[in-house]
Amino acid sequence: MSEGMYPTSTGELAKRRRELAPETEAAFQAFSQKVFADGALPVKVKQLIAVAVAHVTQCPYCIKGHTKAALRHGATQQELMEAIWVAAEMRAGGAYAHSALALEQMGKSDASATG
């Protein structure tokens, strides 16, 4: 079953992924479990970070999965939305900051035109 352009994540797809690269799949799962375990940051905070990053990387599977995980670990809807707004600002801020590259090129173009 498909949701628009993205297929629904199913146990069958997960099984196929495992079958095609079992050692890599196991390593990825172990890495993921370690990354999202309590540490210097609690799981809830890590999941809020993941929700923000998922919005920047625009991964619908990650958005859904990490939103559910964040809620399971005590995140509020307000915390989730705030994390999403942080992601939006960072994405927009990146475009703003990188305008320095275009401005630099414009300056070079101006210099060569008047040079």
CATH of the domain at 96: 1.20.1290.10
Q: 2-40, pLDDT tens digit by residue?
A: 568 899 989 999 999 999 999 999 999 999 999 999 999
Residue 112 confidence (pLDDT): 86
Of 42, 52, 46, give the one whose Cα is nearest residue 89.
52
Same-domain status, 47 and 80: yes
- Are 71 and 28 members of one domain? no
What confidence tens digit (pLDDT) does each residue in 39-77 have?
999 999 999 999 999 999 999 999 999 999 999 999 999
The tokens describing 14, both together, are 């997960």
Task: Read off the pLDDT of residues 69-107 as tens digits, 9 standing for 90 and up.
Answer: 999 999 999 999 999 999 999 999 999 999 999 999 999
Number of folded domains in the chain? 2
Domain extent, residue 19, equals 12-39
- The encoded tokens of residue 5 equal 């352009």
Q: Does residue 97 share a domain with residue 78?
A: yes
Burial of 59 (0-12, 13-18, 19+ CB in 10 A): middle
